Structure 1
Amino acid sequence: MKSRGTFLRIAGAALAAGALTCVAMVGMPQDGGTESLAAQPIADEGPGYAVEDFSYPNADRILAEKKIKLKSGNGHILLAECNGAPELMEIFPLKNEKVCFRVTGDKGYLSLEIPSVFGVKGNSYEAQVAMSTGSEHKTFNVDKNAWTAVGETADEQGRDFMLLEIRTSK
């Protein structure tokens, strides 16, 4: 009996292999060439590639409505409603209303442009802001959970500074 079971397994495997060969042969070109086996495009143009450029979502609408130019970031510093919540970072420009950001994750980065910034209220994260006036660039460390003078209020000459970057870490 043992040899009969082995014979049936071998015969079954041979039949399956033969069936696969038959199916493969039916799909072969009759002239023996492989020209028709090459992959053919289904449509004239395939879908585009998804490439993350880290652009800030809805930046054009935010610029039009709030006069804040949000360029790009890693998604861990997000514009938020200023509601007094202690976890928000608050930015104070001279020529605009206070701007707030919610910070998440271990490290955050945001490239932006807010003119005439003079103060920042930090949250529980370590934070630095990069600013410029004319061709001069300065970086200010932001105190945790406290107000920090930056830009015009921290400058001996009282010059107007634009906020360019926010970097945070836990």
Structure 2
Amino acid sequence: MLATCDGSADQIRVYTVEDSTVGRKGDYCFRATAASGYLTLELPRVFALETGDHPISADLTANGATTTVDVAEGGFESVGEGTVGGARSVLVEIRVTG
């Protein structure tokens, strides 16, 4: 579920390119309340994912293709335009995997 970013171990943090003209913040946090589950959403301009106590798998779309990224417990992963030559990406699903 959507949560206030506070550095809690059970949070998943999604970093985006902030844009006040469309109301997009620079980061969004989600709290995992179970060992598994998923959230479907559309969050544009995502450039990194960070996990706490729960590993995740995330789907991102860019240029008509979907990419799945796995992030280990306590991990950080650059994605989309956060990587060298990466395309602007939209986060479309987060899955807690453990």
TM-score bracket relative to the smaller structure = 0.7 to 0.9
Name the residue aligned to 2:72.
Answer: 143
Asked whether 1:82 is paired with 2:5, we answer yes
Unaligned runs of 5+ in 1: 1-77
Query: What one-letter code is carried by the residue in structure 2 that aligns with 1:157?
Result: G
Select 1:93's aligned residue among 16, 28, 37: 16
Select 1:160's aligned residue among 85, 88, 96: 88
CA-based RMSD: 1.3
- The equivalences for 1:51-130 within 5 A come to 78-95=1-18, 96-130=25-59
How many pairs were matched up?
92
Query: What one-letter code is carried by the residue in structure 2 that aligns with 1:87?
Result: D
CA contact (8 A) 1:122 1:148 kept: no
% identical aligned pairs: 28
- Structure with more helix by fraction: 1
Name the SS for the 2:81 alignment partner: helix
Shift of 1:153: 2.1
CA contact (8 A) 2:39 2:93 kept: yes
Query: What one-letter code is carried by the residue in structure 1 that aligns with 2:5?
Result: C
- Do the aligned partners of residues 79 and 148 (structure 1) sit closer, same or farther apart at CA in structure 2, a change above 3 Å counting? same
Shift of 1:167: 0.5
- Structure with more strand by fraction: 2
Shift of 1:147: 1.5
Unaligned runs of 5+ in 2: 19-24
The TM-score, its normalising length taken from structure 2, stands at: 0.85
CA contact (8 A) 1:120 1:150 kept: yes
CA contact (8 A) 2:14 2:28 kept: yes
- The equivalences for 1:22-37 within 5 A come to none
The TM-score, its normalising length taken from structure 1, stands at: 0.51
CA contact (8 A) 1:92 1:98 kept: yes
Shift of 1:86: 2.1
- Do the aligned partners of residues 86 and 106 (structure 1) sit closer, same or farther apart at CA in structure 2, a change above 3 Å counting? closer
